[in-house]
Every structure is written in structure tokens, then in C-alpha cells.
Amino acid sequence: MIGQSNINKEKVQVKDLTFTWSNFISLTRIFIAAPVIYMHYTNGHRITLPITILIIYGVLSDYLDGYVARKTNNVTEWGKALDPIADKVTAFFLFAYTVYIGWIPLWFFVVGVVRDALILGGSAYIQQTKGKVAMAIMSGKVSVNALAAYWISVFFFPGATGFQHFFMGCSLVLMIFSFFDYFHRFNQIRKGLDFN
């Protein structure tokens, strides 16, 4: 166990554990995309109760895993990597599906994928050179929430184009802002800033 301070200067005890309840919750989030896509596509794009339950679980689990990790004092190196990866993998498939059925523009999807690939590349570089995973920053978490709101507005309310355009605009601005926020932190860490 190593005492570390994250980007907000908070002290966090980071453990070298793999199997924790919080990590299990993060991992299960990855598996909601396939059944949601299958059920939605095969029933004529209708929203059913099982689809709704899975989406609600996906949203709640993104908060629950971090809450459980902190309450049980089980913040782990594996969990710091798994949580954002679960977010990105799940979002990739759900957004790809809504692009495929024509509900979200391809350009928006490409912007998100390129941004995420660059952030993951930077995170991998930090992990390789510093030996630990950098925790997600607040602007990144806010960006994920905005993207979720946009996707939900498209998926559950396909006729609400005004709300969709609003959430798309918010998502785009926050994706760009958080990318530069991550880039700034990446440069700080490269120059020796302590993190986590």
C-alpha cells in the first residue's frame, strides 16, 4: 500500500489488489452494451424494460464503483485503470450502434474516439514511465456525464431534437476542454508533478 496524493492534492491510499467489489462493478459495466444493442435492434428499436434496467445500471454503476472503493478503502491501481476503460468501451459500442442506425452523426463519434485514444495513449505512457496509473480528473468525469446525457436523449427520446442538439453541443465543448485539461496534466506529470 502506498500513500499518494492525487491531482487535487488529496491523500489516497492505493492498494495493489485486483479482486474488489468496486472493480467487479466496473467490470460488469462493460457487459451491458451487447444485450442493449441486441434487444434494441431485434425488436424494431423499441425501448423495453430490460433495456431500461440495463442502462440505469450502467449509469448508476459508474458512481457506485467509486463510492464502494472509497467507503471500503479499496482504491486500487487496477481499479483506477478499469473504471475509465469500462466507460470508454461501453460508450464506444453504444455510440457506434446509434451511429449505425443513423441517430448520431459519424463525425461526433470520430471526435470522441480520437480524443479517447489520445487520452488512453497518454495514460499508458504515464503508467509505463511512472509505474502507476493517473486517476481521472474532474473535467473528464463531467465530460462522461454530458456524453451519457446526450446518448440517453438520443436513445430514449429520438424526437427531442432540441434537447439532443443542446446535449451534443455541451458534450463537444466538454470533450475538447477535458482533453486539454488531460494534456496539461500529462505535461505536468512528465515534468515531475506527483500524482494519485
Tens-digit pLDDT profile for residues 28-67: 999 999 999 999 999 999 999 999 999 999 999 988 888 8
What local confidence, expressed as pLDDT, does residue 7 receive? 52
The answer to whether 93 and 60 have CB atoms below 8 angstroms apart is: no
DSSP characters for 35-53? Answer: HHHHHHHHTTS---HHHHH
Residue 154 has pLDDT above 90, yes or no: yes
Mean pLDDT of 95-117: 97
Least confident of 58-62, 98-102, 129-133, 163-167: 129-133
- Is pLDDT of 8 > 70? no
Q: Return the domain boundaries, the chain.
A: 12-190
What's the pLDDT band for 168 if we cut at 50, 70, 90? very high
169 or 189: which carries more pLDDT confidence?
169
Question: Which of 30-34, 68-72, 76-80, 168-172 is least confident?
Answer: 76-80
Amino acid at 47: I
Judge whether residue 87 has pLDDT over 60.
yes
Q: What's the whole-number average pLDDT of the chain?
A: 88
How far is the C-alpha of 148 from the C-alpha of 40, rounded, in Å? Answer: 17
For residue 108, give every residue at least 6 positions away whose Cβ sits within 8 Å of its Cβ, in sequence order, or none: 168, 171, 172
Residue with the three cell numbers 444485450:
35
pTM score, whole prediction: 0.86
* pLDDT value, residue 10: 61
Is the CATH code 1.20.120 the one for domain 12-190?
yes
Task: Express as a percent the part of the chain with pLDDT over 90.
Answer: 61
Residue 80, Cα to own-chain centre: how many angstroms? 11
In which band, very low, low, confident or very high, does the pLDDT at 13 lie, cut at 50, 70 and 90? low
